[in-house]
Amino acid sequence: MLFIFGMSQGKKILDYTKTIICGQCEGYGRYQVFMTYSYFSIFFIPIIRWNRRYYVQMSCCNTIYELNPEKGKQISRRESADIGEQDLTLVQSGHRAAEWNQKKCSGCGYETAENFEYCPKCGQRF
């Protein structure tokens, strides 16, 4: 008898919707809650899950926060939970935050994230 078993990482999107003004990009965004976990499976059926972690991803700028696990459990049990800023720990800032560092040439419109003093296209000073 051959057993096929293994350990894998899983990800599950949880059902939670809240629209807020994002603290990272100051746009309107939605909290998208997901859970990651490790699992042990036999015949591709997950038997044991552990190491559950809960995250929130902003729909506006893809900023990722780690979520307070108590709130995460409530949401995964479909209990009503209200996520507040105190439940979130910033993991990865979204791409719009990076765009703030972008320079744009007033002469030709060339955009760069490099720290050039003069525009490499038309030579105008930034």
| Residues lying near Zn ion in the complex (CB under 5 A) | 22, 24-25, 29, 58, 60-61, 105, 107-108, 110, 119, 121-122, 124
Nearest Cα to Cα of residue 72 among 15, 3, 111 = 15
Nearest Cα to Cα of residue 59 among 102, 9, 113, 16 = 16
Residue 24 is given by DSSP the state T
User: Which residue lies nearer to Zn ion by CB, 30 or 52?
Assistant: 30
Work out how close the CB of 54 gets to Zn ion at its nearest, in angstroms, rounded to a whole number: 19
User: Which residue lies nearer to Zn ion by CB, 17 or 80?
Assistant: 17
Work out how close the CB of 77 gets to Zn ion at its nearest, in angstroms, rounded to a whole number: 27
Nearest Cα to Cα of residue 52 among 27, 69, 68 = 69
User: Which residue lies nearer to Zn ion by CB, 70 or 99?
Assistant: 99
